[in-house]
Amino acid sequence: MLVKKSFQQQTIGSVQIGNGTVALQGVKLNVHCFMLDGVLIDTGAKSLEKEFKPFLKQLDIDQVVITHFHEDHTGCAAFLQKELQIPIFMNDRMLDYCKKKADYPLYRKLFWGKRKPFQAKAIGNTFSSHHATWDVIETPGHAIDHLAFLNRETGQLFTGDLYCQKKTKVVLREESIPITIESLKKVLTYEFGEVFCCHAGYLEDGRAALQKKLEHLINLQGTIIKLYEDGMSANQISKTLFPKKYPIIFFSSGEWDSLHIINSILEDHLKNSLTV
C-alpha cells in the first residue's frame, strides 16, 4: 500500500506548531502538536516520527503533556523520553497501558505506526511552565483519559480531540457523545480565547467554535432521541441522519462509524430513563 506523508510547521504568536499528515487509500488524516513556554502538547505519531523529529529537536522542551493515550498523540513519546530525556505527564488512567507495546487494530498501525512503550508520570490539576500556570481540565468522551490544557497567562486552550470539527460525522465505538457534551460545557466555564485543536489546528475564535460544536451535539442528541421515541431503530436513525458512508468506516471495519453516535446517545437516554 502506498502511504503518502507530509509535514508542515508554523508559528502563531508564541505557539510553535507541527502538523503531520498521512494519506492511504482515499483516507487522509492529520495530527498536530504544539509548543508553548517550554511545554510540548502531544507528540505526533510514530509513523510520522521521521517528519516530526527535526521539528521536535529544534524546540527547547522542558516537559511533555499528553491530552490522551491514542497513538497519534503519543507516537513520538518514546523518542522524546529516551533520546532527549524529557519528562512526560498524562492522566494516570492510561499510564500502565502506555508502558506496554501498542495494542490496537492493524489499520491504525498502518496510519499511525506502532507506538513504542514509554513511562509517563501522573499529571496534577495544574502544572507550571516558565511564565505561566496551567489548568489541567478533564474532558472525557473521545477517550476516558482525555485532558485539555489552559495557559492562564495567555488564555490559550489546547483541546486535544475535543473539537476536531464542528459537525461530528463518525466516532470510535467506545466514544460517548453525552460525555463529550458535558466536557464541552465544562471547558466553556473557563476564560480563554484562542483554541488549538490536535486535528483542526488553530481556531482563532475558539470559544465560538466550541460553543457551536456543543450546540450541534445537543441538537443532534435531541433529534436522535425524538426519532427513537417515534419508533425508529438505531440503524434507521443512522441511515436517516448520516446517509453518507465515509471511507474510514470501511477501512476500520466499523471501529469508526456514524452508528456509534446514535448508540452512545440512546444508551445514555435509556439509562437515564430507568433511573427516573
**Cβ density class 215-243: b for 16+ within 10 Å, e for less:** eebeebbeebbebbeeebebeebbeebbe
Q: What amino acid is encoded at 132 in this protein?
A: A
* Alpha carbon 59 to its chain's center: 22
What are 61-86's pLDDT values in tens digits?
999 999 999 999 999 999 999 999 99
Kindly tell me if the per-residue pLDDT of 151 is higher than 60.
Answer: yes
Supply the pTM of this predicted model.
0.96
Question: What are the cell numbers at 130?
Answer: 516558565
* Average pLDDT of the residues in 40-50: 97
* Average pLDDT of the residues in 122-128: 98
Rounded to an integer, what distance in angstroms lies between the CA atom of residue 274 and that of residue 210? 31
Kindly give the residue spans of alpha helices, DSSP state H, lying in the chain: 49-57, 71-74, 77-82, 95-99, 106-112, 177-187, 206-229, 234-241, 247-251, 259-275
Residue that wins the pLDDT comparison between 104 and 274: 104
Select from 267, 181, 173, 172 the least CA-distant residue to 216.
Answer: 181
What are 218-257's pLDDT values in tens digits?
999 999 999 999 999 999 999 999 999 988 999 899 999 9
Specify the pLDDT at position 10.
97
First to last CA, the chain: 52
Rounded to an integer, what distance in angstroms lies between the CA atom of residue 77 and that of residue 60? 16
Specify the pLDDT at position 63.
98
What is the domain partition of the chain in residue ranges? 4-275
* Average pLDDT of the residues in 147-163: 98
What are 4-33's pLDDT values in tens digits?
999 999 999 999 999 999 998 878 999 999
Specify the pLDDT at position 1.
60
Specify the pLDDT at position 110.
92
Max Cα–Cα distance, the chain, nearest Å: 58
Specify the pLDDT at position 3.
84
Element (H, E) at 156: strand 156-160
Mode of pairing for the β-strands spanning 195-197 and 156-160: parallel
Q: Residues of the chain with pLDDT > 90: what percent?
A: 92
Taking the CA atoms of residue 65, residue 69, residue 74 and residue 78 in that order, the dihedral angle to the nearest 10 degrees is: 90
Rounded to an integer, what distance in angstroms lies between the CA atom of residue 158 and that of residue 195? 6
* Alpha carbon 130 to its chain's center: 26
According to CATH, the superfamily of the domain at 4-275 is Ribonuclease Z/Hydroxyacylglutathione hydrolase-like (3.60.15.10)
Measured over the CA atoms of residue 203, residue 61, residue 28 and residue 221, the dihedral's sign is negative
Average pLDDT score over the chain: 96
Kindly tell me if the per-residue pLDDT of 276 is higher than 80.
Answer: no
What are 156-192's pLDDT values in tens digits?
999 999 999 999 999 999 999 999 999 999 999 999 9
* Average pLDDT of the residues in 135-142: 98
Rounded to an integer, what distance in angstroms lies between the CA atom of residue 37 and that of residue 127? 12
